[in-house]
Amino acid sequence: MVQLHGRDAEVRIGNPTQRPLAVSITLYRDATTPGKPVTLGDSLRARISPSTFTLQPGVEQTVRLRVQASVRQGEVLRLAVTFTPVEEPEPQPRPTMRFIMAVRYLVRVEVRP
């Protein structure tokens, strides 16, 4: 969970894997109904710095958020952090099909005074 103090928050993103990962971050309003799975509402205007970057294995990155849209105290937002493996150049093209799987974590963000 991340706490948004006023309009600002800070979160650390890490790469525990052995391969580089491309990371992208977006902030959403929470549209979850109690007792149902997490649902994302509209994306929220926010300055996310950096919002996209590449993390090398074992490295962490501090990300700062400044919400530009109006939010209410007690409101719940969702920070969507998507990790995608960085493709390494192949010496020769492979004739096989490849699947690349991206993982998205949804982090609860609570608006505090």
Q: The CATH number of the domain where 37 resides is what? A: 2.60.40.10
Residue 44 within a domain: yes
The total number of structural domains in the chain stands at: 1
Q: Tell me which residue range forms the domain holding 47.
A: 2-86+101-112
**Total-model pTM:** 0.83
d(CA 57, CA 43): 29
pLDDT by 10s per residue, the chain, length 113: 899 988 999 999 999 999 999 999 999 998 888 888 888 888 889 999 999 999 999 999 999 999 998 888 888 899 999 999 997 766 777 667 777 788 998 898 998 87
Judge whether 63 lies within some domain.
yes
